[in-house]
Amino acid sequence: MINHIDVSSMLRKSVCELYSNLVTRPTGAAVRCEIEQELDRIGDRALTVIDFSHVGLLDFSCADEIVAKLLLQYVSTDAPRREVYFVFRGISESHMEAIETVLERHKLALVTQHADGRTRLLGIIGLEERLAWEIISQLGAGAVADIAEATGLSRDAAERMLDTLWRRRLLIRYDDGYVAVGSATTRSEPLRLDA
């Protein structure tokens, strides 16, 4: 199941009913706390769309509080908080500079989805990792052997790269394969994360 969190609703709930701009670090922290509470109700393994469509301004401190600190809780090479995947929707050009800056500062990457359904990666990601993510996005899903063949990597190297992408929450691991996070929101058959 795909969950949807409207950032502007979280803003109105936590700060002010008539406010649509995300400025000041305390505002960003309050919104992130609301999102975290919503995520706590969802469960330990989930795909969540974080929707910025109705947000006017987004400053650097709010991007850091909401985007970076949220991702840092779930992206880890050790033990992430839970297995939660994010797709960020409704990111406008006016939001982009702040988001790209905090992603770069924290060496993070995320999946963003445009209004037409196309997805892309933002942030810090290697060329081979980006290629693997794009191949899996186009295929809909892929096993290690598929990615090794498509990228020209050895099976072991492909497996390590896919594991890295999974730990960064850019791929969802299931059975013996992977699904690109962005393509999971547009699949014709539902992706079961609770399996």
Contacts of 78 (CB under 8 A, 6+ apart): none
**In the 8-state DSSP scheme, what is residue 99?**
H
Q: What is the mean pLDDT of the chain?
A: 86
Output the pLDDT for position 187. Answer: 47
Task: Check pLDDT > 50 for residue 186.
Answer: no
Contacts of 81 (CB under 8 A, 6+ apart): 73, 74
The CATH number given to whatever domain includes residue 92 is: 3.30.750
Token pair for residue 130?
């980006």
Q: How confident is the model at residue 170 (pLDDT cuts 50, 70, 90)?
A: very high
> Which of 105, 124, 143 is the last residue before a domain boundary?
124
Residues 113 and 137 in one domain: no
Q: For 112-168, how does the pLDDT look when each residue is reduced to its tens digit (9 = 90+)?
A: 998 888 999 999 999 989 988 998 998 888 899 988 998 889 999 999 999 999 999
Residues 19 and 66 in one domain: yes
Output the pLDDT for position 193. Answer: 56
Output the pLDDT for position 111. Answer: 97
Q: How confident is the model at residue 190 (pLDDT cuts 50, 70, 90)?
A: very low
How many other C-beta atoms are found inside a 10 Å radius of the C-beta of residue 17?
Answer: 7
The CATH number given to whatever domain includes residue 148 is: 1.10.10.10
Question: Angle at the Cα of 61 (from 110 to 66), degrees rounded to 5?
Answer: 40
> Which of 73, 94, 124 is the last residue before a domain boundary?
124
> Which of 100, 124, 148 is the last residue before a domain boundary?
124
- The whole-model pTM stands at 0.87
Residues 118 and 146 in one domain: no
> How many domains does one find in the chain?
2
Of residues 83 and 187, more confidently modeled: 83
Containing structural domain, residue 187: 125-195
Of residues 81 and 185, more confidently modeled: 81
